[in-house]
């Protein structure tokens, strides 16, 4: 049972506050202790003589919240009983009634008491999840459900209550429920719900944490062919073959997920950044791909974007206006980094103004709000880091490489000329625009020059960010991919990578345009990046045709394994056929179920704005020509 009152969110709220989103609560704790367990913890804490007024009132507020949840649960029970009584003579016979009886049993127990079976566990998650949505939070994540739920399945299997097939049926029902209210849950675009289920992963002792539920979740979604919820799969050296195989089958089915995320890279980065070791091993992701500790973090990982092109434009403008010049590329790069640092300071200032709306419901379910007697909006969670994302990095690297080549090495144009061309949006020099986008080394190539320059910018950003702490006293982190590659680009002037005004920025860690960069090239490039300083999401986004993946499935899995071993942090694959996309754009009604990967989510192609459709078609065509260009026969 899963229901959301979709009108509740329209009740006016205080606009001074930003509602907290992009978050996963502590489902494991909820399932194992029940709300009553949490209540006991609060009451015990209230007995502490040293609490001040605000702390006591916070804890009392939590108790009130618990009471309200109980009232809601009772109302639900009451409603179920009424339904049952409508049909007294049929009691227990028709399946509808049997279901109702079962739900009554379940809700007489959960969410107050710990769940005893897989079904109770799933129902608890659904119930609390629906409350979080109605409480006004968006991008509500689900965390490591295979790990969280497996103890319940294990018990059911051993008591003979369930077989694996029945477990799969329960999971299918669970996923279908989460898929409801698709539109209501969508954030920036239809499908952008943040409903991510994280599967698999490495245990602290190096062993693999996969269990039968890992496969069941993937298989169920593959069979259902739903774009939402979606999967992030944690992989590492010991990820079993059958998990890889099932992941590829999901991709072949054209779901656009799982997104693969590399434990070997991320866990280390998290520990180095300051997360506790045991928590780092338990990472999931907030809405798209940003590593996040479920149930322990407020971490707002997607506060805003760093646009690498902004400081570059400012620098060129100032050179133009001051009629100065910069004599060497090294000095130009140095100036760029100064502008970048200033810009980052502005970005940080703007995000630190944000005040979060108090959220007692989340505070109940996120460590250590109760221990600290502090609401999550006030920094009660264990981790309160802020995360920034970035756009335009590939465009900036390419622009810098072009400036190096044309302004400094070949001396064909000066910096003022560069600014003028950009201001005029290449209108008088289309030829130059083509040359800029076609010639020379490009972002995504495994050439030292490119990789070193990229790492130089990464280090420079993190160095600037290290100077700041947010209002909770926590550090800033940043990542290399962002949903904003189109929205940020719409009104952005032309750039010296050969991008015209308003054209989309490069997508994540992928070549900005088609330079015949092979999959291994991009993986080598991505492996060389310094993720210790940029781990807030870093996705290589590639496109492959279904027939291609199918014909070389084993080699493709090998490719993925080696890429992650080499140090690629995250990777997602859109399995598409460009011809079908083109037809689907013209005639959406004939392809109602065509799913594509957008940024951190999958969506129906027909629901996408034209700009996004066009970009996917363009990229798919580029990859197609690349895969076909040369064969020996």
Residue ranges binding other proteins (CB under 8 A): 430-435, 438-439, 446, 518-521, 524, 551-552, 555, 558-559, 561-562, 565-566, 628-633
**Residue 219 near residue 168 (C-beta atoms within 8 A):** yes
> In the chain, what's the furthest Cα-to-Cα distance?
92
Could you give the CA distance from residue 318 to residue 324 in angstroms, rounded to a whole number?
A: 8
Could you give the CA distance from residue 473 to residue 328 in angstroms, rounded to a whole number?
A: 40
- Asked if omega into 293 is within 30° of 0 (cis), the reply is no
Task: Output 107 or 525, the one with its CB closest to other proteins.
Answer: 525
Could you give the CA distance from residue 467 to residue 594 in angstroms, rounded to a whole number?
A: 46
Could you give the CA distance from residue 188 to residue 603 in angstroms, rounded to a whole number?
A: 12
Task: Output 60 or 518, the one with its CB closest to other proteins.
Answer: 518
Task: Output 380 or 440, the one with its CB closest to other proteins.
Answer: 440
Least Cβ distance, residue 537 to other proteins (angstroms): 25
Least Cβ distance, residue 556 to other proteins (angstroms): 8
CA angle, corner 294, sides to 344 and 386, nearest 5? 10
Task: Output 11 or 633, the one with its CB closest to other proteins.
Answer: 633
253: closest CA among 271, 231, 273, 275?
A: 231
Task: Output 376 or 436, the one with its CB closest to other proteins.
Answer: 436
**Residue 135 near residue 55 (C-beta atoms within 8 A):** no
Task: Output 491 or 630, the one with its CB closest to other proteins.
Answer: 630
CA angle, corner 159, sides to 155 and 161, nearest 5? 95
Task: Output 143 or 511, the one with its CB closest to other proteins.
Answer: 511
Could you give the CA distance from residue 187 to residue 287 in angstroms, rounded to a whole number?
A: 11
Least Cβ distance, residue 499 to other proteins (angstroms): 15
Least Cβ distance, residue 252 to other proteins (angstroms): 16
Least Cβ distance, residue 566 to other proteins (angstroms): 6
Q: Regarding beta strands 539-544 and 386-391, do their DSSP bridges make them parallel or antiparallel, or are they unpaired?
A: unpaired
Could you give the CA distance from residue 90 to residue 84 in angstroms, rounded to a whole number?
A: 9
Could you give the CA distance from residue 517 to residue 442 in angstroms, rounded to a whole number?
A: 9
Could you give the CA distance from residue 360 to residue 65 in angstroms, rounded to a whole number?
A: 7
**Residue 395 near residue 505 (C-beta atoms within 8 A):** yes
Task: Output 285 or 523, the one with its CB closest to other proteins.
Answer: 523
**Residue 509 near residue 538 (C-beta atoms within 8 A):** yes
Could you give the CA distance from residue 504 to residue 512 in angstroms, rounded to a whole number?
A: 9
Residue 232 CB contacts under 8 Å (≥ 6 apart), including other chains: 196, 197, 198, 199, 257, 258, 259, 260, 261, 284, 285, 289
Task: Output 154 or 446, the one with its CB closest to other proteins.
Answer: 446
Residue 28: both structure tokens together: 């494991």
Least Cβ distance, residue 565 to other proteins (angstroms): 7
Task: Output 28 or 568, the one with its CB closest to other proteins.
Answer: 568
Least Cβ distance, residue 563 to other proteins (angstroms): 8
Residue 74 half-sphere exposure, CB side, CA atoms within 13 Å? 6
Task: Output 485 or 525, the one with its CB closest to other proteins.
Answer: 525
Q: Is 417 exposed, middle or buried (0-12, 13-18, 19+ CB in 10 A)?
A: middle
Task: Output 50 or 632, the one with its CB closest to other proteins.
Answer: 632
Least Cβ distance, residue 558 to other proteins (angstroms): 4
**Residue 97 near residue 84 (C-beta atoms within 8 A):** yes
535: closest CA among 265, 277, 139?
A: 265
DSSP state of 405: I
Least Cβ distance, residue 157 to other proteins (angstroms): 36
């Amino acid at each position: 049972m899963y229901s959301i009152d979709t009108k509740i969110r329209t009740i006016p709220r205080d606009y001074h506050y930003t509602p907290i989103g992009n978050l996963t609560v502590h489902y494991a704790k909820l399932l194992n202790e029940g709300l009553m367990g949490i209540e006991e913890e609060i009451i015990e804490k209230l007995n502490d003589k040293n609490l001040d007024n605000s702390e006591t009132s916070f804890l009392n507020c939590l108790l009130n919240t618990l009471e309200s949840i109980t009232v809601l649960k009772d109302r639900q029970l009451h409603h179920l009983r009424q339904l049952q009584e409508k049909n007294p003579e049929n009691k227990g016979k028709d399946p509808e009634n049997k279901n109702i009886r079962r739900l009554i049993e379940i809700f007489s127990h959960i969410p107050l008491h710990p769940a005893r079976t897989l079904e109770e566990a799933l129902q608890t998650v659904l119930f609390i999840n629906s409350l979080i949505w109605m409480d006004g939070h968006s991008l509500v994540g689900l965390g490591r459900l295979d790990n969280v739920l497996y103890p319940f399945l294990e018990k059911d299997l051993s008591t003979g209550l369930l077989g694996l097939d029945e477990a799969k049926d329960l999971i299918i029902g669970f996923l279908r429920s989460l898929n409801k209210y698709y539109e209501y849950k969508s954030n920036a675009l239809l499908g952008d719900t943040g409903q991510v289920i994280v599967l698999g992963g490495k245990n602290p002792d190096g062993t693999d944490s996969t269990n039968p539920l890992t496969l069941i979740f993937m298989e169920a979604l593959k069979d259902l062919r739903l774009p939402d919820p979606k999967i992030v799969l944690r992989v590492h050296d010991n990820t079993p073959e059958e998990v890889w195989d099932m992941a590829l089958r999901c991709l072949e089915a054209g779901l656009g997920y799982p997104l693969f995320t590399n434990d070997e890279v991320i866990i280390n980065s998290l520990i180095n950044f300051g997360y506790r070791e045991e928590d780092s091993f338990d990472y999931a992701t907030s809405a798209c791909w940003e590593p996040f500790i479920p149930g322990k973090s407020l971490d707002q990982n997607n506060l805003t974007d760093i646009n690498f092109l902004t400081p570059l434009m400012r620098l060129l403008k100032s050179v133009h206006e001051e009629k100065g010049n910069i004599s060497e590329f090294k000095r130009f790069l140095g100036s760029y980094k100064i502008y970048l640092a200033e810009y980052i300071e502005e970005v940080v200032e703007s995000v630190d103004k944000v005040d979060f709306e108090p959220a007692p419901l989340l505070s109940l379910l996120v460590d250590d709000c109760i221990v600290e007697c502090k609401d999550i909006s006030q920094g009660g969670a264990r981790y309160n880091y802020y995360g920034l994302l970035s756009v335009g990095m590939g465009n900036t690297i390419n622009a810098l490489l072009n400036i190096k080549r044309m302004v400094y090495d070949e001396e064909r144009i000066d910096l003022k000329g560069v600014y003028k061309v950009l201001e005029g949006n290449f209108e008088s020099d289309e030829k130059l625009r083509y040359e800029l986008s076609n010639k020379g080394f490009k972002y995504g190539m495994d050439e030292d020059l490119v990789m070193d320059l990229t790492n130089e910018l990464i280090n420079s950003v993190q160095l600037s960010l290290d100077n700041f702490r947010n209002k909770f006293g926590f550090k800033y982190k940043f990542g290399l991919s962002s949903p904003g590659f189109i929205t940020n680009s719409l009104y952005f002037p032309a750039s010296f990578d050969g991008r015209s005004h308003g054209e989309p920025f490069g997508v994540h860690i992928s070549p900005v345009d088609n330079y015949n960069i092979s999959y291994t090239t991009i993986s080598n490039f991505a492996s060389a990046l310094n993720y210790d300083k940029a781990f807030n999401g870093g996705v290589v986004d590639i496109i492959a045709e279904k027939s291609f993946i199918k014909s070389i499935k084993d080699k493709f899995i090998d490719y993925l394994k080696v890429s992650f071993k080499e140090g690629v942090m995250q990777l997602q694959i859109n399995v598409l056929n460009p011809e079908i996309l083109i037809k689907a754009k013209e005639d959406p009604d004939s392809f109602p179920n065509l799913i594509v990967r957008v940024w951190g989510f999958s969506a129906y192609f027909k629901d996408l704005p034209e700009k996004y459709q066009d970009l996917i078609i363009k990229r798919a065509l580029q990859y197609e020509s690349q895969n076909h260009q040369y064969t020996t026969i």
